[in-house]
């Protein structure tokens, strides 16, 4: 329960003061008291300093990261139904969720290697909740899964990721409500009983739970008094949850997590993943996770980007950003019915005032169901300002009473009920509100692949683009990825720090774009990957500025994912110019080490069609002896080599005459004859 570091200006012109320490709301500290330690971490760049800080924390608390664990959820392709997915609070027409998920998974199995789904996520639609949408009991609603979760898991045969949120004061597990366990009950509730979590995960394990997705963590803290006045309550909740999961071999994913909650994960081994983005579709740039992934990776957590669509259009989806649907015969002199919500991205009032972020006014916690994201116009249930219509505050701060805050409605198109359906064929005269379109599915898929936190898509069944999924994984669904998560590169961080720019969540964010990097280490050579999106940096940069620690003394060739003709030999200056990119554009750069023998230079680019072409989940060995290049891989694939002869660069593609997705394959390429052959073992 330590506050975040905050610089406070004492008076104009002064350096100011740095505020940190125990939260002022804490009312009691148990004997023998509290020790506060300060850690200063250093490194040759920000990435390294952050990692050194995390290494110390994890070492101090004994957190163990099992890198070799075969994780069907984190390491394999999955199908998700959370916010942003097509089947979020929505089923196939005329079917319940049980029938919908069975039909979906049958479809995946019939597709074979083209959609190799290996796990399934079920979200907040499956359990009973109270009027605050707090969980009353973590059990399946009869109309959702009439035969129970054990039947579903046995029928689909897939590990399950299951969502949970904050607890209701009416939860059936609490002693006060006839249950067997200790809860603190206020407007919502929080368990304080290790026996509860042991029982909870024992029961869930019976129906196939593999990952417990603890969502709404910030609200669990913010909606209660006990969690911010007693040092023990929040820590008990997190640690008891983690121990119960560990005893039942279940992993935990954190979501909507406060920094203090994320840092507490270093005390446990069962917390392995954390969502580092906002909900998919709530903000167009929620894929920008290069900076938040720095924090997660340092703590030993796999960063998860959230669900995404593989197709630009998922026809008939429930997401509309450009307008608000409401009955047009509503009385303009009274507030509109509160069941109409605007969830778009307008952030300016009708007269042109810029909206203030809701978080600076602490309203995103006071109205947890209002989707109060960033500084977007909203009409939250229960907030009288706005008269039910989308609005925002444009002049307000916590030093003034709320009655003095200034607000104004936003210029949001209002359309009639059902205007979210295309009315062009019926000659309708009222406004048509277009449903949401994903600007760049491959951008979403590439970010997920490079995150190391899992790849989970959520399209309508007949809208899945198999070619996008194929770029992420092997035929068996194993994600082809990098050794560590792609993190914001030093060049991006330096631009943000010294150009007067702001972080992406600030509404005055710069348009610098995103530059991230990662690597694959294969047989003593470092292969680099750089992700660039919406880039505005035009000056030459070096591999070090990109966050790459390439193999010393080795010459590198840079290839591009979307330009197969582009091969650039890095010269002694090691400088490279990045391409400028428009909104939603991205590129992947591959730094390929060249091996040399008897005047020949050759390098492994790998599978050109994959986002990570030289992943160790495909290639398990590469070597050069005499005039022969030898590659060892899992499964057959088309392999691209880079050749340098007499100063000229070229590429060569080799493959096997036979195809086998499960075999261990050895490719041999003769540099003299330019012939190749395969052997299977």
pLDDT tens track for 375-411: 999 988 777 777 778 899 999 998 899 989 999 999 8
Q: Determine the pLDDT at residue 195.
A: 99
Alpha carbons 496 and 511: distance in angstroms, whole number? 10
Which position has the token pair 């740095």? Answer: 18
Least Cα distance to 356 among 322, 385, 320, 325 occurs for 385
Please say whether the dihedral angle defined by the alpha carbons of residues 93, 95, 101 and 103, taken in this order, is positive or negative: negative
Opening angle at CA 89, ends 84 and 95, nearest 5: 125
Model confidence pLDDT, tens digit, residues 351-360: 999 999 998 8
Tokens of 50: 């952050």
Q: What is the mean pLDDT of the chain?
A: 89
What's the whole-number mean pLDDT along residues 563-575? 89
Beta strand pairing status for 119-122 and 160-164? parallel
Cα distance between the two ends of the chain: 55
What's the whole-number mean pLDDT along residues 665-673? 93
Cα Rg for the chain, rounded, in angstroms?
A: 27
Alpha carbons 215 and 224: distance in angstroms, whole number? 16
Beta strand pairing status for 17-19 and 78-79? unpaired
In sequence order, the β-bridge partners of residue 180 are none
In sequence order, the β-bridge partners of residue 378 are 391
Alpha carbons 395 and 406: distance in angstroms, whole number? 5
Least Cα distance to 191 among 156, 127, 235, 249 occurs for 235
pLDDT over 60 at 428, yes or no = no
pLDDT band at 422 (very low <50, low <70, confident <90, very high): low
Model confidence pLDDT, tens digit, residues 108-129: 999 877 899 999 999 999 999 9
Give the pTM: 0.91
Q: Determine the pLDDT at residue 431.
A: 56
Identify the weakest region by mean pLDDT among 333-337, 420-424, 528-532: 333-337
pLDDT over 50 at 346, yes or no = yes
Which position has the token pair 């939860």? Answer: 171
Other beta carbons less than 10 A from residue 192's beta carbon: 17
pLDDT band at 234 (very low <50, low <70, confident <90, very high): very high
Alpha carbons 453 and 88: distance in angstroms, whole number? 21
Alpha carbons 443 and 425: distance in angstroms, whole number? 34
What's the whole-number mean pLDDT along residues 419-439? 62
Q: Determine the pLDDT at residue 420.
A: 57
The residue that leads in pLDDT, 599 or 472, is 472
For residue 178, which phi and psi values (nearest 5 degrees)? 90, 5
Q: Determine the pLDDT at residue 335.
A: 45
The residue that leads in pLDDT, 327 or 527, is 527
What's the whole-number mean pLDDT along residues 447-460? 98
Neighbouring residues of 2: CB distance < 8 A, sequence distance ≥ 6: 20, 21, 22, 23, 36, 260
Name the 3-class secondary structure at 559: strand
Model confidence pLDDT, tens digit, residues 171-226: 999 999 999 999 999 999 999 999 999 999 999 999 999 999 999 999 999 899 99
Alpha carbons 400 and 547: distance in angstroms, whole number? 45
What's the whole-number mean pLDDT along residues 639-659? 90
Q: Determine the pLDDT at residue 337.
A: 45
pLDDT band at 536 (very low <50, low <70, confident <90, very high): confident
Model confidence pLDDT, tens digit, residues 236-268: 999 999 999 999 999 999 999 999 999 999 999
Alpha carbons 90 and 318: distance in angstroms, whole number? 9
Other beta carbons less than 10 A from residue 486's beta carbon: 30
What's the whole-number mean pLDDT along residues 136-146? 97
Q: How many percent of the chain have pLDDT more than 70? A: 91
Alpha carbons 492 and 478: distance in angstroms, whole number? 31
pLDDT over 80 at 421, yes or no = no
Tokens of 384: 């009288």
Neighbouring residues of 423: CB distance < 8 A, sequence distance ≥ 6: 430, 432
Tokens of 24: 């002022």
Q: How many percent of the chain have pLDDT more than 90? A: 66
Alpha carbons 650 and 644: distance in angstroms, whole number? 7
**Burial (Cβ within 10 Å: 0-12, 13-18, ≥19) of residue 680:** exposed
Neighbouring residues of 431: CB distance < 8 A, sequence distance ≥ 6: 323, 413, 414, 415, 416, 419
Model confidence pLDDT, tens digit, residues 479-495: 999 999 999 999 999 88
The shares of helix, strand and coil residues in the chain, as percent rounded to the nearest 5, are 20, 25, 55
Neighbouring residues of 110: CB distance < 8 A, sequence distance ≥ 6: none
Opening angle at CA 330, ends 324 and 331, nearest 5: 130
Helix (H) or strand (E) holding 604: strand 600-606
Is the peptide bond prior to 32 cis by the omega test (within 30 degrees of 0)?
yes
pLDDT band at 626 (very low <50, low <70, confident <90, very high): confident
What's the whole-number mean pLDDT along residues 68-87? 90
pLDDT band at 329 (very low <50, low <70, confident <90, very high): low
Alpha carbons 112 and 301: distance in angstroms, whole number? 31
């Amino acid at each position: 329960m330590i506050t975040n570091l905050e610089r406070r200006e004492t008076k104009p012109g002064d350096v100011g003061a740095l505020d940190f320490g125990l939260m002022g709301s804490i009312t009691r500290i148990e004997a023998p008291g509290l020790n506060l330690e300060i850690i200063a971490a250093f490194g040759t760049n920000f990435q390294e300093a952050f990692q050194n800080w995390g290494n110390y924390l994890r070492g101090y608390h004994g957190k163990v990261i099992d890198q070799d664990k075969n994780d069907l959820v984190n390491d394999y392709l999955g199908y998700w139904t959370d916010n942003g997915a097509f089947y979020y609070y929505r089923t196939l027409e005329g079917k319940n969720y049980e029938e919908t998920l069975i039909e979906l998974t049958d479809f995946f199995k019939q597709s074979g290697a083209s959609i190799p789904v290996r796990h399934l996520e079920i979200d907040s639609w499956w359990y009973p909740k109270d009027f605050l949408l707090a969980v009353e009991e973590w059990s399946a609603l009869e109309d959702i899964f009439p035969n129970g979760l054990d039947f579903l898991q046995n029928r689909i045969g897939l590990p399950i990721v299951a969502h949970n949120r904050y607890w209701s004061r009416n939860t059936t597990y609490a002693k006060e409500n006839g249950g067997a366990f200790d809860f603190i009950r206020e407007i919502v509730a929080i368990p304080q009983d290790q026996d509860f979590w042991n029982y909870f995960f024992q029961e869930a394990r019976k129906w196939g739970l593999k990952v417990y997705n603890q969502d709404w963590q910030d609200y669990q803290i913010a909606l209660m008094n006990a969690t911010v006045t007693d040092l023990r309550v929040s820590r008990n909740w997190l640690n008891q949850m983690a121990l119960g999961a560990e005893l039942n071999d279940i992993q935990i994913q954190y979501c909507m997590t406060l920094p203090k909650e994320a840092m507490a994960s270093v005390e446990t081994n069962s917390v392995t993943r954390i969502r580092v983005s906002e909900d998919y579709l709530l903000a167009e740039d929620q894929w920008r996770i290069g900076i938040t992934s720095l924090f997660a990776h340092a703590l030993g957590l796999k960063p998860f980007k959230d669900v995404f669509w593989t197709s630009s259009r998922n026809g008939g989806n429930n997401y509309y950003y450009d307008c608000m649907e409401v009955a047009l015969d509503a009385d303009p002199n009274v507030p509109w019915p509160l069941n109409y919500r605007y969830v778009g991205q307008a952030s300016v009032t009708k007269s042109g005032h810029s909206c203030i972020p809701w978080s600076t006014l602490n309203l995103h916690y006071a109205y947890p169901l209002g989707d109060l994201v960033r500084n977007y116009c909203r009409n939250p249930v229960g907030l009288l300002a706005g008269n039910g219509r989308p609005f925002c505050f444009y002049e307000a701060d916590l030093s003034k009473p709320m009655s003095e805050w200034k607000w104004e409605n936003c210029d949001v198109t209002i359309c009639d009920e059902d205007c979210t359906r295309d009315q062009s064929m019926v000659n309708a005269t009222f406004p048509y509100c277009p449903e949401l379109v994903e600007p760049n599915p491959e951008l979403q898929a590439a970010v997920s692949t490079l995150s190391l936190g899992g790849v989970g898509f959520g399209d309508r069944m007949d809208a899945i683009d198999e070619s996008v999924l194929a770029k992420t994984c092997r035929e068996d669904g194993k994600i082809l990825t990098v050794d560590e998560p792609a993190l914001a590169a030093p060049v991006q961080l330096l631009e943000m720090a010294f150009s007067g720019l702001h972080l992406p969540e600030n509404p005055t964010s710069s348009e610098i774009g995103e530059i991230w990097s990662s690597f694959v280490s294969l047989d003593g050579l470092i292969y680099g990957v750089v992700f660039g999106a919406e880039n505005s940096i035009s000056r030459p940069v070096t591999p070090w500025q990109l966050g790459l620690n390439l193999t010393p003394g080795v010459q590198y060739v840079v290839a591009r994912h979307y330009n197969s003709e582009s091969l650039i030999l890095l010269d002694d200056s090691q400088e490279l110019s990045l391409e400028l990119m428009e909104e939603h554009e991205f590129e992947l750069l591959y730094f390929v080490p060249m091996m040399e023998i008897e005047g020949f230079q050759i390098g492994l680019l790998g599978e050109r069609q994959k986002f990570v072409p030289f992943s160790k989940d495909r290639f398990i060995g590469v070597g050069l002896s005499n005039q022969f290049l030898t590659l060892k891989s899992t499964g057959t694939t088309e392999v691209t080599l880079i050749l340098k002869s007499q100063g000229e660069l070229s590429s060569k593609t080799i493959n096997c005459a036979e195809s086998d997705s499960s075999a261990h394959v050895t490719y041999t390429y003769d540099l003299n004859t330019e012939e190749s052959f395969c052997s299977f073992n």
